[in-house]
């Protein structure tokens, strides 16, 4: 079965890239053979299958992350070895009715699974880990190492337990590790992000080097004290960075991204001044933010109650692994919180994106089992809506406001800052890494192109900047990058228990049903192709669908069409169905300027 919902063709090289190809034999800067052979730390070799030829090219193939915020996944190939960096998902928007999750199409990985040596996960956010359970289920081998930090693997392990994936092969890594994986040698370094234990990776191969930043910002006052490792990036620059792949999510922001510590000051002030309960909604994986909520609650002599499935799971894992520091006596059960005076409790919950089934949304609709919002409560939405979620968040805010809650979001107070570098930080990363070639990653088209402009501003030639799409391929050989042959790419929809079975036709039908409605026509036909009784017209979700005159008009048109059909075409139900669809669709367009789905049902009697 073809799991793809779209595919793309190879992109022809630009004239500048053709020129680079022609110069390949005369230009040979920073050969791999000129790089230091001895690493600073002992090499941990995770794969002894290191068969490759000196003439092999390094292929870089993004399968996701270049057409939106999410589903980040990049394949690196050299000879008979392949590694993958990240395996994320993307959440659907209003254009995907009924869809639960959107995955990158990893068919290329499945077709080449025998060469897959490792899956490296840079950090524990869903847009970098969410596709892993589905990928692991589809792979025909279960011994592929999944490499990540202790916290990242902890989140992944919880996810695998939900999906009932047994005996996965985990490989814990840490900043400073230097690991050989087949033909690849990977150096991992710390980056600051909105989650602890985030990493970037410097990949060395005989064909050249790639620096992959992961998601990052340059916060000088991080909550856990872990800075982005500038010294490591400078060392890689001295070795020689052939290609820099850098996070573009915040490239349109003209300033430095504010420090996470500034959010803590705002949270303390709001929580300490709250007259009743303080309810804080945040991403469950934003451990730094959760830490600051707990610190603010303790400073205000309040207990913390946690609710929401993912929030409960992630806070438990983070506490067990030592990343979230809150004393046992300061945490209470959500059921117990009902018995604590309102001015002595902070409720930490999910729902910052307006998800209909999240804890905050259920509170706003008076559907939560343990927490009921009351007039005078303070609600803090400590996140920025992901593109596509703005309407859902606004609905929740309006529902909370109707109850009488005092709602704080990013527009009202500094209750959220981004975890991604702004434009000045991105330019600093470019200056530190000093790459020969540059490829912006992780973002929508506007973010990628804005990042490309920044690269030109710091002096990288336009011909050395690659703004590509998912499925496009770059080839690195002896320090020279050229375009390669593209691979099929697209998206895979998760729809309930169905993965990849939702076609573009079904999605289009759902969009039509949600916006224009449905008209069902029931005709009982005699053997002589004439109507046995008056046809029935049933409309659902159609403007004017409760108007008897419109229904009568449509029923008359159905009778006329069936009579004309009987005299001109004889007994051919397919022709009649097509004629009824065209006639009724045209009539409704004239009356309503809508084109609902028209379904004729022809029954012989």
Find the DSSP H helices in 1-97: 15-22
Give the residue from 457, 472, 496 where a domain finishes.
Answer: 496
Q: Give the integer Cα–Cα distance in Å for 39 and 120.
A: 20
The 597-604 sheet, strands edge to edge: 536-540, 518-525, 597-604
- For residue 406, the cross-strand partners are 378
Please write the tens of the pLDDT for every residue from 524-545: 776 655 555 678 888 887 776 6
Both 98 and 219 in one domain: the answer is yes
Range of lowest pLDDT (68-72, 168-172, 414-418): 68-72
Report the phi/psi class of residue 461: left, alpha or beta, with left for phi > 0 and alpha for psi in -120 to 50. beta
Q: Worst-scoring range by mean pLDDT, 274-288, 295-309, 589-603? A: 589-603
The span from the CA of 20 to the CA of 117, in Å, is 31
Handedness of CA 107, 111, 112, 114 (dihedral sign): positive
pLDDT for residue 333 is more than 70 = yes
Cβ-Cβ contacts under 8 Å for 463 (sequence gap 6 or more)? 16, 17, 19, 20
Residue 39: per-residue pLDDT: 39
Decide if 510 is inside a domain: yes
Decide if 332 is inside a domain.
yes
Q: What is the pLDDT of residue 20?
A: 37
Q: How do residues 476-512 score in pLDDT, each as one tens digit?
A: 999 899 999 999 888 887 765 546 555 565 566 556 6
The rounded mean pLDDT for the chain is 85
3-state DSSP call for residue 326?
coil
Within a 10 A sphere around the Cβ of 391, how many other Cβ atoms?
Answer: 11
* Residue 30 within any structural domain of the chain: no
Q: Is the pLDDT of residue 571 over 50?
A: yes
CATH number of the domain encompassing residue 594? 3.10.20.580
Q: Could you tell me if 154 and 276 lie in one domain?
A: no
Task: Tell me the C-alpha distance between 572 and 137, whole Å.
Answer: 47
- The answer to whether residue 402 is domain-embedded is yes
Which CATH number is 348's domain given? 3.40.50.10710
Q: Mean of the pLDDT values across residues 254-265?
A: 94
Whether residue 281 is found in the same domain as residue 148: no
Domain count, the chain: 3
Tokens coding 428 = 């600093």
Are 247 and 199 in a shared domain? yes
**What is d(CA 344, CA 271) in angstroms, rounded to the nearest whole number?**
10
Q: Which residue has the tokens 């079965």?
A: 1
Burial class (CB in 10 A: 0-12, 13-18, 19+), 539: buried
Q: Answer with the residue of higher pLDDT: 289 or 28.
A: 289
Note whether 280 and 249 are same-domain residues: no
Enter the DSSP assignment of 13: P
pLDDT class of 32 with cuts at 50, 70, 90: very low
Its domain, for residue 200, covers 15-23+40-255+418-496
Residue 561 has phi, psi (to 5 degrees) of: -65, -40
Report, as an integer, the average pLDDT of 117-137: 95
Q: Evaluate whether residue 7 is within a structural domain.
A: no
Q: Is the pTM of this model over 0.85?
A: no
Same domain? For 162 and 71 the reply is yes
């Amino acid at each position: 079965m073809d799991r793809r919902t779209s595919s793309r063709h190879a992109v022809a090289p630009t004239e500048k890239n053709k020129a680079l190809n022609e110069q390949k034999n005369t230009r040979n800067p920073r050969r791999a053979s000129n790089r230091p052979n001895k690493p600073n730390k002992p090499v941990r070799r995770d794969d002894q299958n290191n068969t490759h030829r000196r003439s092999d090219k390094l292929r870089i193939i993004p399968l996701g992350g270049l057409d939106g915020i999410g589903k980040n996944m990049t394949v690196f190939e050299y000879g008979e070895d392949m590694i993958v960096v990240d395996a994320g998902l993307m959440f659907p928007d209003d254009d995907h009715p009924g869809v639960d999750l959107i995955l990158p199409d990893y068919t290329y990985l499945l077709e080449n699974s025998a060469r897959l040596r490792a899956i490296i996960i840079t950090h524990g956010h869903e847009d970098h880990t969410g596709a892993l359970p589905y990928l692991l289920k589809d792979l025909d081998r279960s011994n592929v190492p999944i490499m990540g930090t202790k916290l990242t693997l902890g989140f992944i392990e919880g996810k695998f337990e939900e999906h009932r994936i047994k005996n996965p092969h985990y490989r814990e890594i840490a900043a400073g590790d230097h690991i050989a994986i087949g033909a690849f040698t990977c150096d991992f370094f710390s980056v600051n992000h909105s989650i602890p234990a985030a990493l970037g990776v410097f990949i060395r191969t005989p064909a050249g080097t790639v620096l992959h930043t992961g998601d990052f910002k340059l916060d000088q006052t991080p909550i856990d004290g872990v800075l982005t490792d500038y010294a490591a990036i400078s060392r890689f620059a001295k070795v020689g960075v052939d290609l820099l792949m850098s996070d573009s999510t915040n490239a349109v922001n003209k300033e430095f991204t504010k420090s996470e510590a500034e959010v803590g000051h705002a949270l303390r002030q709001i929580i300490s001044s709250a007259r009743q309960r303080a309810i804080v909604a945040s991403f469950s994986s934003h451990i730094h933010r959760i830490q600051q909520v707990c610190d603010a609650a303790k400073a205000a002599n309040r207990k913390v109650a946690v609710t929401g499935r993912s929030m409960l799971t992630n806070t438990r894992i983070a506490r067990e692994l030592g990343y979230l520091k809150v004393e046992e006596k300061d945490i209470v059960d959500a059921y117990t919180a009902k018995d604590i005076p309102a001015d002595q409790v902070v409720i930490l919950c999910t729902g910052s994106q307006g998800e209909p089934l999240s804890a905050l949304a259920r509170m706003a609709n008076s559907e939560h089992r343990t927490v009921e919002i009351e007039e005078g409560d303070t609600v803090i939405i400590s996140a920025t809506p992901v593109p596509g979620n703005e309407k859902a968040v606004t609905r929740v805010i309006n529902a909370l406001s109707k109850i009488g809650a005092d709602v704080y979001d990013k527009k009202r107070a500094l209750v959220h800052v981004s975890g991604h570098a702004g434009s000045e930080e991105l330019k600093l990363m470019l200056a530190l890494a000093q790459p020969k070639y540059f490829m912006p990653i992780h973002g929508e088209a506007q973010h990628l192109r804005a990042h490309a402009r920044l690269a030109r501003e710091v002096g990288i030639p336009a011909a050395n900047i690659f703004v590509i799409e998912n499925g496009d391929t770059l080839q690195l050989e002896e320090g020279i990058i050229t375009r390669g042959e593209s691979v099929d790419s697209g998206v895979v929809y998760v729809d309930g228990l169905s993965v990849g079975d939702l076609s573009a036709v079904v999605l289009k039908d759902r969009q039509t049903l949600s916006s224009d409605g449905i008209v069902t026509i029931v005709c009982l036909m005699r053997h002589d192709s004439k109507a046995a009784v008056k046809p029935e017209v049933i409309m659902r979700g159609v403007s004017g669908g409760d108007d008897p005159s419109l229904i009568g008009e449509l029923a008359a048109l159905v009778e006329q069409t069936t009579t004309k059909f009987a005299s001109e075409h004889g007994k051919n139900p397919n022709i009649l169905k097509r004629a009824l669809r065209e006639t009724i669709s045209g009539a409704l367009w004239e009356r309503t300027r809508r084109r609902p789905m028209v379904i004729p049902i022809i029954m012989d009697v």
